[in-house]
Structure 1
Amino acid sequence: MSASPLPIAPDLLRAVRDSCLEAGEIAVALFRPGAMTAARTWSKSGGSPVTEADIGVDTFLRIRLSVLMPEAAWLSEETVDDELRLSRRFVWVVDPIDGTRAFMNGSPDWAVCVALLDEGKPILGVVHAPACNATYTALLGGGAQRNGVTIAASLKTSLAAARIAGPKPMLDALARLETFEPTEKIPSLALRLVRIADGTIDAGLVSPDARDWDIAAADLVLSEAGGTLTGGTGQPVIYNRETPVHGMLVASSASLAAPLMSALQRMRDGQSQRI
């Protein structure tokens, strides 16, 4: 396989999607809508939560995806990092449950996320949100779909009519400069991005510290739907680095990218003047 889609690539995408659907069933068995999960939970060394559902999904996907492409390395939120990935052309990037806190608290906004990187570029992506009845898929050059139906980001060109999601402090700072429609919090970062891809919202802000597994699959869905994800000053997002951590990120439909970036620059200029 190369970075360009090959005839077998759609078959691989279907196999990955089916694997994510099965993985979702593992999590759903322990999910309680509107209530605390039935899964055992604990805290990782950094204090972030993890559940037995995260581990179960991670283990299932590692076995299944390794069979689909044995030569690909592995990067997952719930697996000890292996530097072997830095020397491999292909890398699976997995978040078994993006939005673990939402899952634990009974919110439907969590997702199983799988991306395949080729030389650091996402070429296949699946974001499966079982509790939302939504499965997003994308193949490089093949467009993006939700539940098998092609999706596209919005065509809005003005922030005044835009629905924007993100951390409240960032939205509050932007609101001092621009009029827009803030949306309810979306706990899963991947879902925040794919909902820009399907036009549910128009843009999203991401605070620093997102990891490759949070965004890689959704990034491809967004770009194939006509949207864009960049760093806070417009720089490209780079995957599979030694430390797979990102700074501030900005996501939007392509038509909103320039006005949003301009507003963010004015926001930064105002903050620097107050220092």
Structure 2
Amino acid sequence: MPETDLALLTAAARQAGDIAMRYFRRNPAVTDKPGGAGPVTEADLAVDHMLSETLCDARQDYGWLSEETEDTRHRITTQRQFVVDPIDGTREFIEGGKDWSHALAIVENGQVTAAAVFLPARELMFAATLDGGATLNGAPIGASAAQLDGATVLGAKPNFEGRFWRDGITPPVKRVFRSSLAYRLCLVAQGRFDAMITLRPSWEWDIAAGALIAAEAGARVTDQHGAILRFNNHDPKVPGVLAAGPDLHSNLAELLEPRPANP
């Protein structure tokens, strides 16, 4: 059994990659979740099953929150929790793109303490521990120190509509997109892009692992109103996310409407 939580997460993430790659680009069975919650593949479910067994067997006192497991609320009574997205970017996975990931985090008292985000199709392992820094494939990484003008910001197109920004004016940035929210946060941590933003309630399993990795790489990571992110909520969502180097984060936060309209 891995001795540390981070070793446990990274080993499990690699196991998840082994499973997912057996289905990747091989027409996995796909079904639609109820209520328009998006697609799920047989790969998502196989990875979820393995992660649940492996992680919960290793840490039997930890709670469990996963996109593909019914939330029993038992996790609320536990001191520590696994927060897992078996495949973040399922549509990308179905389409045969490479920008999907396995996002695994451990939360204690509302704060992420260990995280791994693995992209098996790209052989990228992002990892971090609280106050321990962030790494990519074992090497330290750091967020950029970019200023506002010309910054590259990861986000879906609706986030850049004028209604979300003061006076209806979007900031002078270059918008780019990647499917996985966890990967977007890691790309900010790596310094490949300068910021990421999502202005809609986001599931904890999409955000928790990448949030720690970005923060440990020197980015400031908050909700869309600038508040610290807290996890293991009764309703497992956070109110949007903004991640960037401290100066750029402040610039973007100042330009956002104080209370953005619902997307």
Q: Normalization by structure 1: what TM-score?
A: 0.88
C-alpha separation in 2, matches of 1:67 and 1:152? 34
Aligned length: 256
Q: Which residue number corresponds to residue 24 of structure 1?
A: 17
1:72 corresponds to 2:65: no
String of CA shifts for 1:51-104, please: whole Å, max 9, x gaps. 000000001011111122111010000001011111110100010000000000
Task: Please tell me whether residue 128 in structure 1 is matched to residue 118 in structure 2.
Answer: yes
Pairing 1:187–2:179 present? yes
Rate the CA distance shift 1:250–1:9 in 2: closer, same or farther, 3 A: farther
Any conservation in 1 of the 2:154–2:195 contact (CA below 8 Å)?
yes
Tell me the equivalent position of 2:101: 111
Task: Please state how far the C-alpha of 1:160 moved relative to its aligned partner.
Answer: 0.6
The answer as to 2:199 corresponding to 1:204 is: no
SS of equivalent residue, structure 1 residue 114: strand
Letter of the 1:63 partner, please give it: E
Tell me how far apart the structure 2 counterparts of residues 13 and 266 of structure 1 sit (CA, whole Å): 37
Aligned mates of 2:14, 2:153 — CA distance in 1: 29
Q: Residue 11 of structure 1 corresponds to which residue in structure 2?
A: 4
Equivalent residues of 2:115, 2:129 under 8 A apart: yes
1:222-261 alignment to 2 at 5 Å? 222-261=214-253
- Unaligned 5+ residue runs, structure 2? none
Report SS of the residue matched to 2:238. Answer: coil
Q: Percent identity of the aligned residues? A: 34
1:161 aligns with 2:150: yes
Q: In the aligned structure 1, how far is the partner of 2:63 from the partner of 2:130?
A: 19
Distance 2:103 2:170 in 1: 34
User: Structure 1 residues 28, 253: CA separation in 2 closer, same or farther (over 3 Å shift)?
Assistant: same
Taking the aligned partners of 1:266 and 1:85, their CA distance within structure 2 comes to: 32
Aligned partners of 2:35 and 2:182: how far apart in 1? Answer: 21
Partner of 2:32: 43
> In 1, distance between residues paired with 2:109 and 2:2?
16
SS in structure 1 at match of 2:61: coil
Paired residue type of 1:131:
A
Query: What 5-or-longer segments of structure 1 have no aligned partner?
Result: 1-7
CA distance in 1, matches of 2:47, 2:97: 18
Q: In 1, distance between residues paired with 2:64 and 2:253?
A: 33
**Which one of the candidate residues 232, 254, 263 is aligned to 1:262?**
254
Q: Distance in 2 between matches of 1:84 and 1:219?
A: 24
Q: For 2:240 and 2:92, how far apart are their aligned partners in 1?
A: 22
- 1:5 alignment counterpart: none
1:255: how far off?
Answer: 2.7
Structure 2 residue matching 1:154: 3-state secondary structure: coil
Distance in 2 (CA, whole Å) between partners of 1:177 and 1:135 is: 33
Aligned to 2:139: 149
Task: Tell me if structure 2 keeps the 8 A contact 1:164–1:182.
Answer: yes
Answer yes or no: is the 8 Å Cα contact 1:109–1:186 preserved in 2.
Answer: yes
Contact kept, 8 Å, 2:89 with 2:180, in 1: the verdict is yes
Q: Which residue of 1 aligns with 2:87?
A: 97
Q: Which range moved further: 174-183 or 45-54?
A: 174-183
2:171 to 178, 188, 192: 178
Name the TM-score, length of structure 2 as normaliser.
0.92
Q: Which residue of 2 aligns with 1:87?
A: 77
Deviation at 1:153, TM superposition (A): 0.3
Cα deviation code 1:15-58 (max 9, x no counterpart): 320111011110011111xxxx5211101112210000000000
Q: Is the 8 A contact 2:161 2:170 kept in 1?
A: no
- How far apart, CA to CA, are the structure 2 residues paired with 1:163 and 1:265? 20
Alpha-carbon distance in 2 for matches of 1:164, 1:137: 22
CA contact (8 A) 1:73 1:88 kept: yes
Q: Give the SS at the match of 1:93.
A: strand
| CA 160–10 in structure 1, closer or farther in 2 if over 3 Å, else same | farther
* Residues 197, 253 of structure 1: 8 Å contact kept: no
